[in-house]
Amino acid sequence: MASRWGVDLACPHCGLRYQDLRTGDTFATIKAEMKQGGASDPSTWRYRRRNGVLGYWHAKKLMWWDYHLGMCESAAIRAA
């Protein structure tokens, strides 16, 4: 079952809903991104099974959401 987190979130400035925000990534690209930066050193490896990849992807989407809110807010301030 897909997560219901963020279903009710919307940008107060442009109306974009959190669930409509797309990162443009796939499961494979996220998994590969997690492997970068120390592939030969086991101490830097991340847990890359399904839940680990989905959690990393969720964190990335949250970061993008915060960035979007900040950009919309600053654009609204400049327009005022």
Q: How many CB atoms lie within 10 A of CB 22?
A: 8
Question: What does the pLDDT read at residue 1?
Answer: 59
Residue 37 lies in a domain: yes
Cα dist from 25 to 8, 9, 14, 29, whole Å: 23, 21, 23, 6
Structural domain range at position 48 = 25-79
CA 33 – CA 19 distance, rounded (Å): 22
- Residue 2's contacts (CB-CB under 8 Å, 6 or more residues apart) are none
Structural domain count of the chain = 1
**pLDDT 10s per residue in the chain (80 long)?**
567 778 889 999 999 999 999 999 999 999 888 876 556 776 766 667 899 899 999 999 999 999 999 999 998 888 87
Position of tokens 């990534």?
25
39's tokens: 């592939």
The predicted structure's pLDDT at residue 29: 93
Q: What pLDDT, on the 0 to 100 scale, is given for residue 58? A: 93
Q: Is residue 52 part of a domain?
A: yes
